[in-house]
Amino acid sequence: MVAGLKSLAVIGIGGVLMAMIALVGGCTALLSARRQEQLLLPLIALAAGSLLGGSLFHMLPQGIAALGPRLVGLWIAGGFWSFLALEQGLHWHHSHRHPGPSSPPVSLLILVGDALHNFIGGLGIASTYLVNPAAGLAAWLAAAAHELPQELGDYGVLRHAGWSRQRALRWNVLSALTFPLGGVVAWWCSGVLPLPGLVLFAAGNFLYIAASDLVPEIKARSSLGEALIGFVAFTSGLLLLLALALGES
């Protein structure tokens, strides 16, 4: 009982901290547009490397140890497919650079999509923690690295659509609170949920976000200096998660 409550406390605290990253958009008011652009590339590249590292070095080994090869592939494919379906179904794609003109309905779709994204993320990362706490921490760090550029982009879209600073921040935080909700659901239903499968499902989510949303942003940079910055930041994220994996063994 005590161990279960401790897990709930860790999952709850981690979920709230992840949700608070949504406040990072408000910090952009303190930075010039040029400074925001300079920070965005290394953040995106670091997130891409971290998500790939979290998936390949932490989540995949946990799932493979518990399930057969065929089931591993099915769960990963399901995680990858679900995020593609989410983005296609809502006609929305994360914008990490300069958001284009946006109507209020599109802004609402962004919030709905972000809420679903965060709920699935909370479910998967909490499941990873319940299977292996060290792997769960690594998955949380990888997801947090992705949340920084994502929340900056979402906040920018809402502001560009005419939302006030307070309203954009408030709704961004509310949509982010589905992350701790997903974590609590994973804890509450841990006795009946296929936790190893959900770990692999979340790994598929990570692979999709990195490959579809983030890596193309890195490759789109034309100058040699930007390409080098992106490559170094990407490699740093990958190596950081590898180091954490080696520390577990």
Q: How far apart are the C-alpha atoms of 149 and 38, rounded to whole Å?
A: 12
- The letter for the amino acid at 191 is G
Secondary element (H or E) of residue 122:
helix 104-131
User: How far from chain centre, in Å, is Cα 241?
Assistant: 15
pLDDT for 101 equals 45
- 238 occurs within a structural domain: yes
- 101 occurs within a structural domain: yes
Q: How far apart are the C-alpha atoms of 221 and 227, rounded to whole Å?
A: 6
What single string gives the DSSP state of each residue in 31-62?
A: S-HHHHHHHHHHHHHHHHHHHHHHIIIIIHHH
Domain carrying residue 194: 2-20+41-248
- 61 occurs within a structural domain: yes
CB 52 within 8 A of CB 210: yes
pLDDT for 95 equals 47
- 26 occurs within a structural domain: no
pLDDT for 193 equals 86
- 31 occurs within a structural domain: no
CA distances (Å), 229 to each of 46, 97, 114, 177, in order?
10, 16, 28, 32
- 100 occurs within a structural domain: yes
Q: Give the count of domains, the chain.
A: 1
CB 131 within 8 A of CB 66: yes
pLDDT tens readout for residues 173-224? 999 999 999 999 999 998 888 989 999 999 998 999 899 888 988 888 778 8
Q: How far apart are the C-alpha atoms of 236 and 229, rounded to whole Å?
A: 11
pLDDT tens readout for residues 233-247? 999 999 999 998 888
CB 74 within 8 A of CB 130: no
Q: Which two tokens stand for residue 28?
A: 């952009």
- 28 occurs within a structural domain: no
Mean pLDDT per 10-residue section of the chain, whose length is 249 residues: 79 94 76 76 90 92 84 93 80 48 57 85 94 92 87 75 84 92 94 90 91 87 87 93 84
- 56 occurs within a structural domain: yes
